[in-house]
Amino acid sequence: MIERYSVIATTEQLAERFAIDVPESYVPRYNAAPAQLLPVITDESSQGVSFFYWGTSPQWTKDKIPGEKIINVRAEIIPEKPVLKKNLVKRRCIIPADGFYGWKKVGKKASVPYRFTHHTEKLFAIAGLWEEYDNDEGEMFHTFTMITTVSDDLVMPVAERMPCILDKRFEKIWLSKQTTEEQLITILTSTSISNTRGYTIAPAINRIESDNPTLILPAPAADQFGNLKLFD
């Protein structure tokens, strides 16, 4: 399950990379987490950035931990689930990112955090689905789910799943209303191999409230308790 990612690009970098309008309310996120309001580009508004909750709104997550079915959806099960297929056809989005995080288990209760980036270290697009809901007060809010795939050779030793990173040539096709279901599924199945690079970071990433540039700095392998770990 992918629980954290980063989008630390400036407004100008985001606008240039995706050829979109970026509102002044956009702020870089070093530790994007579930239930936060985060930037996405949707098939309904592909010329600009929208801000949707990842998985669900904070009000709906009180005393609950968002599950994989809310924050992530596995690419391979989408063709098997009518509801997911419907969303695939009608409600797609791109999640701008420049890194994602994974935790390598090194003991029963110990894990070491890693940050993964594209080999170019530039912005990339994660495939996603979005939905809209009415809350208990009748107010409408929007959420998104990140599509994941089987990890590539670099990520696999740390985590079995990784974000479904779209090839740049497929991004506009992914958002186009003219793209067929068959084409969309083909795009998803063609993203199983990704050119990633990774490195260990400090355990501070574990705290959702932490969101600053030091989180993405390389650090010696240490578990969540700060104990240094040596391993291959």
Q: Is residue 229 part of a domain?
A: no
What residues contact residue 214 under an 8 Å CB cut-off, 6+ apart? 202, 204
Residue 114 domain-assigned? no
* 22, 143 Cβ separation under 8 angstroms: no
Number of domains within the chain: 1
> Which stretch of DSSP H or E encloses residue 151?
none
Query: Is there a domain that residue 20 lies in?
Result: yes
Question: In this predicted model, what pLDDT tens digit does every residue of 89-123 receive, in sequence order?
Answer: 999 999 999 999 999 998 887 899 999 998 877 89
pLDDT band at 70 (very low <50, low <70, confident <90, very high): confident
Residue 39 within a domain: yes
Whether residue 83 lies inside any domain: the answer is: yes
Q: pLDDT for 162-212, tens place per residue? A: 999 998 999 999 999 999 999 999 999 876 556 788 999 999 999 999 999
Residue 46 belongs to a domain with what CATH number? Answer: 3.90.1680.10
* Domain span holding position 70: 5-98+121-195
Residue 109 CB neighbour total at 10 angstroms: 9
Residue 190 placed within a domain:
yes
The pLDDT of residue 232: 44
Report the sign of the C-alpha dihedral through residues 67, 72, 74, 79, in that order.
Answer: positive
| 152, part of any domain | yes
Residue 43 CA to residue 21 CA, distance in Å, equals 14
> What are the residues whose beta carbons fall under 8 Å from the beta carbon of 221, sequence distance 6 or more?
112, 200, 228, 229, 230, 231
Q: Measure the CA–CA gap between 220 and 101, rounded to whole angstroms.
A: 16
The whole-model pTM stands at: 0.89
pLDDT of residue 110: 85
Tell whether 34 is covered by a domain. yes
